[in-house]
Amino acid sequence: MPVKAAKRQAGFTRGGAWPHTDEVALPIARLNNSGRFLLLMFSLLDIPRSPGCYIYKNEKGQIIYVGKAKDLRKRVSSYFQKTQLDTKTSALVSQIAEVSFIATSNEVEALILENNLIKKHQPHYNIDLKDSRRYAYLSLTDEEFPRLILSRKRGSKGAYFGPFVSAAERDYVHETVNKAFQLRTCSRLPKKACLRYHMGMCSAPCEGLASKEQYEEQVRRAKMVLSGKSEQLASKLQEEMNASSGKQAYEQALVLRNQIKALDKLAIKQNMERQKVYDEDVLSYIVRDSQVHLLLFSVKEGVLLSKQEFSFPFSKGFFEEFLVQYYAEHPIPKEVIVPKAADAAVAEYLSKLAGKKVLVAVPQRGEKRQLLELASKNLELTFFGDESKMKALADKLRLHTMPKVIECFDISHLSGTSTVGSMVQFRNAKPDKSNYRRFRIRTVVGIDDFRSIAEVVRRRYSRLKAEGAAMPDLIIVDGGKGQLSSALLVLQELELKVPIVSLAKREEEIFVPGLAIPIRLSRKDKALQLVQEIRDEAHRFAIAYNRLLRGKRMREKE
């Protein structure tokens, strides 16, 4: 392999200064002996609970499926938790070797991203989508009395608006504009006014109840709304409403008021794809602990296509150096959007390298600023999402230090048989599987979770104490007050002062020693989500061990 290619494969650009990966790669477990698909649970914890797109790759690194989700982690986990999958999905899951993701600000952005990723990579399992048309437009027809209709592609006549990335949003805009500005919907003008006129939804140009000039004004206002000029129109309508009210023309004032209200709702609902004829790159970075973490979005003709992540040691002038080295080996877009101004010589250098003018911009507002904020959000999620969880947990539990090492215990049995205990360790909010432990319960007969918890906690920490090993920053027990009390008594016997809590599954309440009332947190709270992740992993690990023992016993009986 050529040296240059080997460096790139190893994650280095020229000079070996920029280690990076194009996507966050998460390993996937293979089929187990029973033929069931298993996801390595620690990879799930790297996926944020935010909207975005998830990308599945096979062992060759080829993209085989692209999907969108409102909650990335929930959607990805659903592929591996279902016991019965259809034939196509089973075939897909069996080939997944890596998972990567790109977070977005909302579901609409995820729709755009999914559409363009599919068009670019044409994954095998997206066969139903890869030949689909782009999103639909709304069109004002070229007629004497124009109609607002749905159009799948742009034609030569009429005015087109969009494309709309969400069918629900498009239909809402269509209905609202028609109703607010009383546009006709009939394909042919009838001889007399229809029911829509009597319901106040059409101005009935068919009977001349609206003159051609009046109808043209209605169409002009509809164009303003569809062109994104709702604020300008709303101000004008407000003035007209006040004037009509002053003249005691209350019916006209009511019509104008309803139009203003419709515009307010429409401002939130209306979402269209950015229309650009040139490419952009969006960069964001954070310097922390003498290390630079940088993220780069590639935007082609107004739509987000991919992201890349870089980490390297901080040095003075690192940003300009990065731009020069990166674009020496990558295509140079017309515009590079950055969070802080770079040396003017960089833009000149990039322009000469590209053979065209390249703008290095620092946007303060508008769509470009929103793209920059989206890059910053993904940067935080990728590099520092786990740290924010630990800080949130320390704050909610009023811990003196951030819980970098957390250990969690769970008990599993089947009707009092094959009782086992599990302990999982999370380090910096990520599973440390080398420190997982499992226990066969020795001193308890039958169903007694309290005594079982006490046994495994005693065995774990008496050993750590004897070895002089470091204790965790926080202990979590699966269960309620009873399990917490049992574990706390053991710690007191061992004369250990380690923060300990329990999580009751039914209401997801956190019990804390000394507090009469458990802590209840929002399901969206990062602190609760972290505790749930750790508890669920301990539960999974315990069940897996329980099943293993039962399987062994069944084979022995045979």
Nearest to 383, CA basis, from 16, 8, 71, 20: 20
What residues does CATH 3.40.1440.10 cover in the chain? 22-126
Residues whose CB is less than 8 angstroms from the CB of residue 283 and which lie 6 or more positions away in sequence, other chains included: 294, 295, 296, 297, 336, 337, 338, 339, 375
* Range 22-126 classified under CATH 3.90.1170.50: no
Residues whose CB is less than 8 angstroms from the CB of residue 463 and which lie 6 or more positions away in sequence, other chains included: none
What is the value of pTM for the model shown? 0.44
What residues does CATH 3.30.420.10 cover in the chain? 280-383
What are 86's two structure tokens? 């259809």
According to CATH, what is the number of the domain 405-557?
Answer: 3.30.420.340
Give the CATH superfamily of 280-383: Ribonuclease H-like superfamily/Ribonuclease H (3.30.420.10)
Nearest to 460, CA basis, from 399, 535, 407, 404: 407
Nearest to 361, CA basis, from 275, 283, 278: 283
Tens digit of each residue's pLDDT, the chain (558 residues): 333 333 333 332 333 333 333 344 454 444 333 333 444 444 566 788 888 889 999 888 899 988 888 888 888 888 877 666 777 788 888 888 888 888 887 776 776 677 678 777 888 887 543 333 345 778 888 888 888 888 766 666 778 876 665 566 677 778 778 877 888 888 788 777 887 777 777 878 887 788 888 888 888 888 877 776 666 666 777 777 877 777 777 777 777 777 676 666 555 444 344 455 568 889 999 888 788 888 888 877 665 666 788 888 787 778 887 888 888 778 888 899 999 888 777 888 888 888 889 888 898 888 788 888 888 888 877 777 778 889 999 999 999 899 999 999 999 877 666 789 999 999 888 888 889 999 998 888 878 889 999 999 999 999 999 999 999 999 999 999 999 999 999 999 999 999 999 999 878 999 999 888 999 998 888 899 999 999 999 999 988 888 887 777 767 665
Give me the pLDDT at residue 510, please: 95
d(CA 8, CA 22): 11
Residues whose CB is less than 8 angstroms from the CB of residue 95 and which lie 6 or more positions away in sequence, other chains included: 56, 58, 59, 64
The per-type count for the chain, helices as H runs and strands as E runs, is: 16, 20
Give me the pLDDT at residue 305, please: 64
d(CA 72, CA 53): 7
CB 472 within 8 A of CB 407: yes
C-alpha distances in Å from residue 66, one per residue of 76, 353, 377: 11, 34, 21
Q: Which helix (H) or strand (E) holds 412?
A: strand 405-414
Give me the pLDDT at residue 276, please: 56
What residues does CATH 3.30.420.340 cover in the chain? 405-557
